[in-house]
Amino acid sequence: MKVSVIIPLYNAQNYIAACLESVLNQTLQDFEVVVVDDCSTDNSCAVAESFSEKFGGRLKIISLPNNTGNASIPRNEGLKFSRGDYIFFMDNDDLIIPNALETLCNYAENFRADVVYMERGFILSGENIIAANWDKFSSKIINPTLETQNISVRIKNFLKTSYGWAPWTKFIRRDFLIANKIDFPHLKISEDVLWSFKIVCLAENFLRIPNQLYICRSRTDSLSRIKREPADEIKFWLDPLVKGLDYLNDFMSGDFFYQNPNFRFDVTNFFVKMQLAGMLAALKNLNRYQLYQIICESFSDSKYAPLIAYLFVVMNFYRDKFSEVK
């Protein structure tokens, strides 16, 4: 089996059919699809199951016992059930062009790549399912580039956001993921950032290609765009701070980061600022007492609890600075 396409599924009854059709129409047919249902409350699972005969035994549908809240655990479970030489993660509302898997697989084998990284994809706007004009999405072949194996340079590029962190941008050798124990941390958001950081650091052959092979649907009801009360918005973005710092601390406990503490600081600083940027709009709607209470609640069970006062000072500074700009 060449490729395992892993698709987390939750309440996507209006999109999953088009997603699966795009996989079904691939020029490379040596693949399987692993759909992991995260306790959908609509007809998503039934729609996916209706494709079983079309895939001729190449479609697995895994149902989780409890809703996990985001795509991390479904992706991790999908990896456990996969058999392909290569792994490709798709979102349940997106599509791939017909020669996507064949193109990615050829690149991976020709360059013996651990990871084939797509620099860009297409954006599909609007909420309605449309019949895609595949000619419009044809790819122009341009020479690929093997990234440097110098981890210092790669980290610097990562901090300059030279690598996208969406899972669909990466076509990955399965043995590489398993051997390095690369999985998605269970965070409310930014889990793909930490996952991508591990990949960028650990992949020996990291191939960058310019081909546009993926079509990402732009939606206003995604998890990061849902409207929340200010307090809930702060808690939403604090979640990856509480858990994500643990994840980074574990990964950066090795020799390279011990010998290069500047990178450990820069990566941590980058990740923390990313979460603070996400909560800026909500910060101005809370007074200092409310903000302090939220931080205390969020960090009550964390080993980072002693940093509550410092984090409060930093967040308050951001809130004041943001208010001045406005």
Q: 291, 285 in Cβ contact below 8 A?
A: no
pLDDT(33) > 90: yes
Place of tokens 């992991």: 36
- The DSSP code for 319 is H
pLDDT at 241 over 70: yes
| pLDDT tens digits along 214-231 | 999 886 666 556 788 999
- Angstrom distances, CA of residue 105 to CA of 86, 142, 188, 208: 8, 16, 31, 13
pLDDT in tens, 242-259: 789 889 999 999 999 999
Q: Chain-wide mean pLDDT for the chain? A: 89
- d(CA 126, CA 135) in angstroms, rounded, equals 20
Provide the token pair at 107.
């690149």
Residues 16, 218 contacting (CB under 8 angstroms): no
Q: For residue 128, give the H/E element and its range.
A: none
Length of the chain: 326
- How far apart are alpha carbons 72 and 186 in whole angstroms? 6
